[in-house]
Amino acid sequence: MARVQRMLDACAELLDEGGYSELSTTRIAERAGVAIGSVYQFFPDKKAITQALGLRYLDLFSVRVGERLAERHFSRWTDAIDAVVDEYIDMHRNVPGFGSLHFGDVVDIRLLDGVADNNRIIALRLRELVTSVAGVEDSEELDRAIRVAVESADATLKLAFRHVPEGDQDLIEETKLLVRSYLERHFGSN
């Protein structure tokens, strides 16, 4: 629905301008050009709107990573890590609100799902992509390794963007190396 998309777009813009603490349903309604009642028709509060935005980002990230993986042939599946990190970086730099919200961790560690933390949800999505697109066999070991890789990448990418708005390129490259090396150690270089 176009109204909901306008509200989510307004939320993204406002997050970039003032962060979550400055966000309000009133400001979202004003920016989206809708009545405050329209906001409450779909979202009970600002957290619910940011949750919907975080889920939109997760879906967009999954689609874009899937496309990147499908368009290239990798001699080793762990080489696909660069494509995943590059997509995250591109979204951080170019998708309104993503750099401020990421996948919702700024608001709530369980924003994307009431039970699992945000990085767990991202790890599950990436595991699905790795098994479907790269043809890697699913296993508990793969699940654990991708969870560790996501947590590690999350920490180092936050560091890369902490003081450099476009991301410290050296730290971005270190993130890729860290995750690739870790996964290759567990699954070999093939």
Length of the chain counted residue by residue? 190
pLDDT of residue 149: 95
pTM: 0.87
Q: Quick one: pLDDT at residue 141?
A: 93
Render each residue's pLDDT in the chain as its tens digit; 190 residues.
Answer: 899 999 999 999 999 999 999 999 999 999 999 999 999 999 999 999 999 999 999 999 999 988 888 887 777 777 788 889 999 999 999 999 998 887 767 778 888 888 889 899 999 988 988 888 777 889 999 999 999 999 999 999 999 999 999 999 999 999 999 999 999 888 765 5
Cβ–Cβ contacts within 10 Å for residue 94, how many? 9
Count CB neighbours of 115 within 10 A: 7
What local confidence, expressed as pLDDT, does residue 190 receive?
52
Tell me which residue of 113, 4, 111 sits closest to 50, measured CA to CA: 111
Which CATH topology does 51-187 take? Tetracycline Repressor; domain 2 (1.10.357)
- In the chain, where the domains are located: 51-187
Q: Give the per-residue pLDDT at 104.
A: 67
DSSP H helices, the chain, are: 2-18, 25-32, 36-42, 46-71, 80-94, 98-101, 118-133, 140-162, 169-187
At residue 189, the pLDDT reads 57
DSSP 8-class letter at 167: -
